[in-house]
Every structure is written in C-alpha cells, then in structure tokens.
Structure 1
Amino acid sequence: MAGSNPAGGQPRSNAWQTALTMLQEAQPPFIPAGAHAMTVVIEYPPGDPGTPPHRHSGPAFGYVLEGEMVFELEGEPERIVRAGEVFWEPGGDVIHYQDGNNRDDVRVRFLVTMLCEPGKPMLVLVDDEELAQRKDRRAPRPT
C-alpha cells in the first residue's frame, strides 16, 4: 500500500515507479567470454582532440556529463554528443577515430562503462599503417 510504514519505519516512497528514464538500448554483437566491467570518467580540456584512433576489446557504453564530444566510429560519420546524451560502440575490430572535445571554451566530461576481454588492455592505439590500410572503411569527412 502506498505510503504505508514498513515495520514501523519511514513511509515508503512511490518515486521509484517513475524514476527510470531510458536513455539507450543496444544489442552489442558480442560480449567477450569472461568479460569484466569497468566504469571510468574521461575529461578533456577545451579544444582537446582526445584519444588517438584506437579500439576496445569489448563493447563500451557512455554518457556525456558536461560539454560536447566529437564521436566517430569506423563506418559511421562523425557526430556531436552533448551533455545528457549517450553513445555506445561495439568494440572488437571497430576503430574508434574520435572522442575529443568539440568546444574550445569548456571541458568535456563523459562516463564510459566497458566490458573488457580478460588479459587484454581495454584500449589499444591503432597505428598509421593500419589506418591507411582501412581508409576505405572510414565515413566521408566533413568539408
């Protein structure tokens, strides 16, 4: 019963019934066997280009806390993800080209939860040779 006192304690709240807001649902193509989860906060100063092209061993799910991030995955056009918006990437063989700060006047902060493959680093940089070999997989660049 709403508002009842469980075992003489505080009245129960019904706020939980409307507290959830769905931000994204995704079906990653795979989750590495024995994966472990890691949640991190990344912060870049104004105008910072972010991590060089890289990949993750498993899927990653993120939420921008402050500012705006330039986000680009292999095969997809770059896009801007703003505070309060979400993003995800499948991990594995997909190159993550950009995660930099889109603004030159404020920092960007985002939270990422990654499902990492055991025994592999959660992030591996992609070298220039591989980028050249896979250039046909990158979406057209804005002009």
Structure 2
Amino acid sequence: MSAEHSHHIENPNATTPPPKIDVIGSVPGARQIPEGAEAMTLLVTLPPGCEGAPPHRHSGPAYGYVLKGEMIFELEGEPARVLKAGETFWEPGGDVIHYQDGNNLADAESAFVVTMFCAHGQPMLIPVTAEELEQRRDRRAPRP
C-alpha cells in the first residue's frame, strides 16, 4: 500500500494491537461529486426476490458495499452482474441509467450500504420513463 493510501498511523503510546484496516474497494479519479452536494448513507434491505427500484438515475455518484446476500446490479452501457456480500459498487450518477438493483436470491434477504452525493435541491432517485428507456435502448448492454 502506498503512503498516500496508508490508513494507519503508528501510536507509540498504544497498549493494544493496532486496528486492522483492509481497503475493499476504491474509485480512482472519481470527480463527479456535484458542488454543494448532500452526502447521505443509506442501508437498503431487499426482501427475498425483490426486484429493487425501477430504472432510475441519481443526480450524483453513489458508492456502495454489499453486506449480505446477492444483488443484481446493472448500469447503462454495462452488462448486468451479480454482486455478493463483501463486494463494492460505484455509479457515476448524472445521465447514466441504473437499470437494476434487485435481490438475486429468491429465498433470503440481501442488504447493501450506499453513500450517495446528491446535487443540491435535487432528489436522490429520479425515475426514468418508459419513453426514455425506449429512446435509449441502444445504450443498454445486450442481455442473455
């Protein structure tokens, strides 16, 4: 780990072992945070088989971590993928459609924590209309 990514500072007065810190994900060059953004961290719990939110976009970026279970994650221009507990995800927000964020498990809950940076005065989640989905269907990655 390089010095600029060191997350531990030696404590010469410590009487206990130092904290264990593991970087589980990072987003190099993330510059999409809107000026004056509201940062919020959400815990999202998906019941078994939950389809998640309908297609939507966010006014700013979102960075998340899957706590338990499995989530289907699909952004415009990328194939859908299954994220499992312990994995992270990033979405840039703005003009990118978030197609899926549902539970991949039919018999168990899944949950994730996400920190979002919403543009000032705009909602966190902006639904996408059926008309817009049709207009942009060529931007969606092919599905099996």
Say yes or no: TM over 0.5: yes
User: Who is 2:21 aligned against?
Assistant: 20
Shift of 1:23: 1.2
Shift of 1:28: 2.5
User: Who is 1:39 aligned against?
Assistant: 41
| Residues 30 and 3 (structure 1), Cα distance of their counterparts in 2 relative to 1, 3 Å cut | closer
From 82, 85, 94, the counterpart of 2:84:
82
In 2, the alpha carbon distance for the partners of 1:63 and 1:85 equals: 6
In 2, the alpha carbon distance for the partners of 1:135 and 1:12 equals: 59
User: Who is 1:93 aligned against?
Assistant: 95
CA contact (8 A) 1:3 1:13 kept: no
* Deviations 1:51-96, CA, capped at 9 Å, x for gaps: 0000001000000111100000000000000011110100000000
User: Who is 2:32 aligned against?
Assistant: 30
Match of 2:43, SS?
strand
In 1, the alpha carbon distance for the partners of 2:109 and 2:130 equals: 28
In 1, the alpha carbon distance for the partners of 2:78 and 2:34 equals: 23
TM value normalised by structure 1: 0.88
Which has the larger Rg? Answer: 1
Aligned CA-pair RMSD: 1.6
Q: Give 5+ residue unaligned stretches, structure 2.
A: 1-9
Shift of 1:98: 0.2
69-78 vs 23-32, greater mean Cα deviation:
23-32
Shift of 1:3: 8.7
Structure 1 residue ranges (4+ consecutive) displaced by more than 4 angstroms after TM superposition: none
| Residues 29 and 131 (structure 1), Cα distance of their counterparts in 2 relative to 1, 3 Å cut | farther
- Specify the code of the residue in structure 2 equivalent to 1:23: I
Q: Give 5+ residue unaligned stretches, structure 1.
A: none
- Specify the code of the residue in structure 1 equivalent to 2:77: G
In 1, the alpha carbon distance for the partners of 2:64 and 2:48 equals: 19
Shift of 1:126: 0.3
User: Who is 1:117 aligned against?
Assistant: 119
Match of 1:129, SS?
helix
